[in-house]
Structure 1
């Protein structure tokens, strides 16, 4: 007995709910005149599959039709048909708006549709068809003006006819609203203004960072960051077009695909920029791994997960850079925090374009970081130029100072008495070295062939002076590579001074090898180990720890390759080795001009 009563109650409840869902829906648009609610979303509809042209009529009985809530998840199942109708009754109050006519706004009525007001055709998007060949897709959205004579006070019927042979698997239900025509246009213009403002910011950042890239050694990080900003420019433009533009469905689908692609590219470029900007070890493997993961996520269409993973990885790289005291790491973390916070606020509909506002915050932080670094590098570059000029003058003075000239003249006097031919060779070598120095004066880079000629002249001079046979061999040297002037000459001079007090012969070997990040030069000599082991780079030793010659080499390297070089000097088997690594993939490609 109890089970019977419960069954009757459940059946009664279901019938009553069914009656509620199918009842007529009335919307009063008088409230549209208030500023708080300029338009109303129409979500509850009478719904029927199939197609009968007379279903636009006001005399059709739709009480037996089904009901459809466009906000319901089940709405997707309802629209996945080749044809259906929607009907809704709208009541206009006794005082319709006078300052602006009414209008309908719709989006995502796939693929072709017709809008009827009280049985009269109001708007046609595309061409309704019974087959795929007959159907012509229309616009993805539009604002439809309701003529004043049709928008009188009283009850009206809005009927929508839809055919969808082109995209029967559509996943997004339509959205339909009624409001004041001017307010609907204002809403669109406001979105357009916001999108244009954001695009302008991103384009400014693209130009700003591109100038950094062109003007400061073409650092890959600057190019990656510029491309990241360019992708955001494209993305915000596509977001506006797909959200507010009156595109046809084929163009809309193409724009959606491009927008999704920009999400993956943006995440990949963000991570790649941070990897290069903070000089993360194993850069190439990191980039290849991130590219592979991005490709997998793209194929699986995991956009949200890819965004989350990109931000998490960006945080990890920035924290790593902060713990290793890399410049700009703290600003990167602050920018990422703002990026994440504004993105959340945007998803919660608290602010418009929150995702892009967050990216702008991050871009501003990184632009400030890069700008500060550029100012510092420019100052260091100018200081390096001045230091190089001063040290170059000191080096020239060293070769023409009385002590050097006196020793050379004494050697020449001995040679004139013992071996006039060697004296002639000595004079030629001395003249060649002075000539080389005079030609290099003021040059930032010279061909390595000219450098080797200067080294050979100096070795010839020192061979006569020390009664020792010095030779210079090369491996991997083409001859037209561009290097700062007199750096190897200076290192060879240091090697002779500190390593050959007793030996009767000396061998120097200069080799060049390509590396993943640029090129490596190694100068070996078989002299005695008479100086302490050192390891120097752009910021590893105090000025007092290095002699004039080594200071000159470092200044020249810093001038030509700011913060992109290392110099190490250490003992090896049977001699001494000096290694210079230049972290710039273009140095091996520079030709003599």
Structure 2
């Protein structure tokens, strides 16, 4: 299966999941907010006739300390054929027993009088109300609760009870969406590790892994359930994964849109996220505000790129704005109902961008292969010209007769140049020290031929810098062609400067201008066409080539990105 076909398949999976999540109708439930509670433990409190008028309302807050308490609710029932209404959904941090008019309906865990005697119950439970109990008239729901394993942060806040079947649990679509995220994460991780080590692929893979993990943490409760004493750990894991997603999303845009100021953006974002994690009062507020901060930073990054008309920035801008609107207007249900479907749509838009980009890269790669072959032939043709070979052979014949030792040295220098040319002609990038070796071999040959000394001096050179082959060699060869040097020693100078602002490197080659020669101010010859073609092949449009006179020197400046791709050099 081709890469584009695989990505289209994953897109289809995510779209189906989003369609299900957006069209899923919420179940109708009767919220129960009139529960009364009282601390202590008395078997009479389950009785219908017990007077609970002095009990506190549940919305005033549950007990802050651990112990045993009761909750009661008076219900008016109008009997109907709706079987869904004959169930009670409860989510309570504790072990508990549920009574209907004094009759025990169900128990969840074992209610105890200490942490050692209590057995924690499940975080969620659905209790069926038998039809013979679901009759017209007034009824009392009584719940006996112990909460010795509940965490301090949640003890006084967490109590949910409503008539209805509770949250709809459907494992197919969350698991399908999880599979889509994992497939994408593994695909882009493999793409980064084996084929194209671009950091944007690694960040995108980590983002998909984080989303898959967050999806598991969010849906674990409804899919598999757990004892209530694990609820706090799940909330912590959701918060940590939300922090990771909130960090990776802006970082992805920084790499995707080639933003150079990554530290400038990420440092304040991480400070804000840490502040929210520490200061926000509840886990839900922490998660919502961390996502909101991440969306705002991402929108700022994408908007700045959209102003520069960078590819893919406008559609990403719309996706982030839609998520911000959903979070602001639907905060209570955002994480449960809208976050993952909307993020899946965002992933879909990014996949469309990647598919288009990969097609463009494949097309450019095919063109580059043809150009590379032509450039290799051009390099060899340029340096093995008939008149150069004939003149060289004539010089060798003369030296063999007059100075055999000089002839041997000349032949060695000529062999060195051809050896280096043979090694680098098929490569896209070479090390700078190889280029310098080639230039010095050529200058040594010309020193013998013209009976004067040519030298190349270097300043602040990184020998491991990557550059296209023979571009400096071509400049030096042009200078020897367009100038007639008469000094005993002619010095060429190569300098390297590093631009910290955009992490680029500038190479400056200074060659003397003789009074009997000239240097073309507008380079349009074969040699300069070769240089520009090689720069475009290696760095696309991320290079600059400038020439200008500086006193008695002709200075050529070549600016290229500092390559970190060691795989380019084989």
Is this contact kept in 2: 1:138–1:249, CA < 8 A? yes
1:336-347 matches, within 5 Å, as 336-343=320-327, 346-347=330-331
Q: 1:549 aligns with which of 520, 527, 532?
A: 527
- The answer for the alignment partner of 1:62 in structure 2 is 51
Distance 1:388 1:36, change over 3 A: closer
Q: What is the CA-CA distance between 1:97 and the residue it aligns to?
A: 6.0
Equivalent position SS for 2:169: helix
- 1:30-109 mapped onto 2 (5 Å cutoff): 39-59=29-49, 61-66=50-55, 68=57, 75=59, 77-82=61-66, 83-90=68-75, 102-107=86-91, 109=92
Alpha carbons of 1:480 and 1:317: their partners in 2 closer, same or farther (altered >3 Å)?
closer
Cα separation, 2, equivalents of 1:484 and 1:359? 42
The alpha carbon displacement at 1:160 in A equals 0.6
SS in 1 for 2:226: coil
Q: Secondary structure at the match of 2:309?
A: coil
282, 287, 295: which one pairs with 2:261?
A: 282
465-474 or 390-399: bigger deviation = 465-474
1:411 deviates by 3.6
Q: Deviations over 1:158-196 (max 9, x none)?
A: 21112234335525331112336xxx58x222xx34433
1:206-355 residue pairs with structure 2 within 5 A?
206-214=185-193, 217-242=196-221, 245-301=224-280, 302-343=286-327, 346-347=330-331, 353-355=337-339
TM-score by length of 1: 0.77
Cross-structure match for 2:414: 430
Which one scores higher on RCO, CA 8 angstroms, separation ≥ 6? 2
Q: Which residue of 1 aligns with 2:6?
A: none
- Check conservation: 2:427, 2:569, Cα contact below 8 A: no
CA contact (8 A) 1:105 1:141 kept: yes
Q: Is the 8 A contact 2:535 2:543 kept in 1?
A: yes
Q: Tell whether the 8 Å contact from 1:331 to 1:369 is kept in structure 2 after alignment.
A: no
- Deviation, 1:66, is 2.6
- Alpha-carbon distance change, 64 to 332 in structure 1, aligned in 2, over 3 angstroms: closer
What secondary structure is seen at the aligned counterpart in 2 of 1:522? strand
Q: Does residue 1:383 correspond to 2:367, yes or no?
A: yes
Work out whether 1:402 is the aligned partner of 2:386. yes
- Alignment of 1:457 onto 2:441: yes
1:113 aligns with 2:113: no
What secondary structure is seen at the aligned counterpart in 2 of 1:368? Answer: helix
RMSD of equivalent CA atoms = 3.8
Q: 1:37 to 1:274 in 2, by over 3 A?
A: closer
What SS is found at the alignment partner of 1:280? coil
Q: Pick from 513, 516, 520: which aligns with 1:528?
A: 513
Contact 1:338 1:361 in 2 (8 A): no
Deviation at 1:242, TM superposition (A): 4.3
Query: Which of residues 119, 122, 127 is equivalent to 1:139?
Result: 122
TM-score normalised by length of structure 2: 0.79
Asked whether the 8 Å contact 1:335–1:366 carries over to 2, the reply is no
Q: Give the Cα–Cα distance (whole angstroms) in 1 for the partners of residues 131 and 444 of structure 2.
A: 102
Q: Residue 254 of structure 2 contacts residue 301 of structure 2 at CA under 8 Å; is this kept in 1? A: yes
Partner SS state of residue 140, structure 1:
coil
Unpaired runs of 5+ residues, structure 2, are 1-24, 281-285
In structure 2, do the counterparts of structure 1 residues 154 and 113 end up closer, same or farther at CA, with 3 Å as the change threshold? Answer: same
Deviations 1:321-343 (A, max 9, x none): 12223222222212223333444
1:6-44 C-alpha deviation (Å, 9 max, x unpaired):
xxxxxxxxxxxxxxxxxxxxxxxxxxxxx9965433332
Verify: 1:364 aligned to 2:348, yes or no.
Answer: yes
Which secondary structure does the structure 2 equivalent of 1:160 belong to? strand
* Greater mean alpha carbon deviation, residues 262-271 or residues 545-554: 545-554
Q: Distance in 2 between matches of 1:199 and 1:346?
A: 24
**Where do 5+ consecutive residues of structure 1 fail to align?**
1-34, 535-544
Q: Deviations over 1:127-184 (max 9, x none)?
A: 433344544433221223446676677765421112234335525331112336xxx5
